[in-house]
Copies of this chain bind each other. A is one copy, B any other.
Amino acid sequence: MDIITLDFGSGGTKTHELINNLFYKYFANDILDQQGDSSIINKLNGRIAITTDSYVVDPIFFPGGDIGKLSICGTINDLAVSGAIPLYITVGFIIEEGMSIKDLERIVISMAVYAKRCDVKIVAGDTKVVERGKGDRIYINTTGIGILEDSININSSRIQVGDKIIVSGTLGEHGLAILCQRQELSFKAKIKSDCNPLDKMIRAILNCSNNIKFIRDITRGGLSTILNEIEYGRGIGMVLYEKLLPIREEVSFICEVLGLDPLYIANEGKVVVIASNEDSDKILQCMRENEFGKDAQIIGEVVEDERERVILKTELGGTRLLTMTENDLIPRIC
């Protein structure tokens, strides 16, 4: 059995073979072992956070990660930025006929490693197989469930003038790594995806400040799109300072060559945080103590602005309006 055939999606012996040899083997835990139509978990003592994401990244293996790592980290990060502690993940595979089982195993192992690292159990799964040319090797849906402690109150309606905007690290790596790998662009400097689980870093900053009003992972659309998604509606806007933006030299260089803007390129291991001015230095220190936050920077602040814009002050002293992305500059980065 070297490649996936349609029979693996039949629900019969081949499906069971796959489930037993791969999924139960690597994902094993007390809940998954129930092997029921639904998995039963114990009562959760608090509000529950739920998130779902499908991953269609192309290519499925890239410098710094693969679709499996991405599908676990992405969903863990979505729960974490809501202030929740990630607990459970369900996994739905859509596999194209002809995919190598070795590649599938590599992806499954990668998922198992990151789930374990984040103390998250994979509690339910599903496998479908589609004919050649009706998919692209593998698509993965992960749905995450976490618990939200009563003390958590991240709420963008608390944002006010004077608050600081903080990013947890350098911008643009994930999208650029995918693009370079896909187009087989060879630059001297290899860009690695920053895809990583941020649950522990986010937990740490929430423990050090009660004045965190907004956290979001900087994914599709990049920092610029994400800051434009916040609905202020109260005569406030944002100013970012170009000279404060943490961007690696090689990312700047490749962006310049390709005519891309790192402010619109996705990360998969960075967050943007808005917090009160008083607590911002404390939060910054706390981020920098975490392995995934060592390049954190305060990059701007919340200001009065009737037109509710996101403005970039350039190094040359000009201003530039940042808007939401209209086009998909780099499709299928997650």
A: residues with CB less than 8 A from B are 6-7, 9-16, 36-56, 58, 78-79, 81-82, 84, 88, 90-94, 123-126, 128-131, 133-136, 139, 141, 143-146, 148, 216-217, 219-221, 225, 229, 266, 324-329, 331-332, 334
**Contacts beyond the supplied A37-B82, A38-B84, A134-B136: 20 A-B pairs with Cβ under 8 Å:** A7-B328, A9-B331, A10-B327, A11-B325, A12-B220, A12-B327, A13-B324, A37-B216, A38-B50, A40-B49, A42-B48, A43-B45, A52-B126, A53-B126, A90-B143, A94-B94, A128-B332, A128-B334, A130-B332, A135-B135
Determine the residue in chain B with the shortest Cβ distance to A327.
B7
Determine the residue in chain B with the shortest Cβ distance to A16.
B324
B41 touches A124 (CB 8 A): no
C-alpha gap A325/B15 in the complex (Å)? 10
Most central of A6, A54, A229, A331 by chain B CB within 10 Å: A54
Point out the residues of chain B lying under 8 angstroms from A36, CB to CB. 82
Chain A interface SS verdict (over half):
mixed
- A-B residue pairs, 10 tightest by C-beta: A11-B220, A12-B325, A10-B328, A52-B90, A141-B141, A11-B221, A143-B143, A38-B82, A38-B49, A38-B51
Point out the residues of chain B lying under 8 angstroms from A78, CB to CB. 37-38
Determine the residue in chain B with the shortest Cβ distance to A49.
B38
A48 touches B43 (CB 8 A): yes
Can you spell out 13 A-B residue pairs with CB atoms less than 8 angstroms apart? A10-B331, A12-B220, A12-B324, A14-B328, A38-B49, A38-B81, A38-B144, A39-B51, A41-B47, A42-B48, A58-B134, A130-B136, A134-B136
CB-CB under 8 A for A56 and B130, given A51-B124, A146-B38: yes
Determine the residue in chain B with the shortest Cβ distance to A82.
B38
C-alpha gap A78/B124 in the complex (Å)? 12
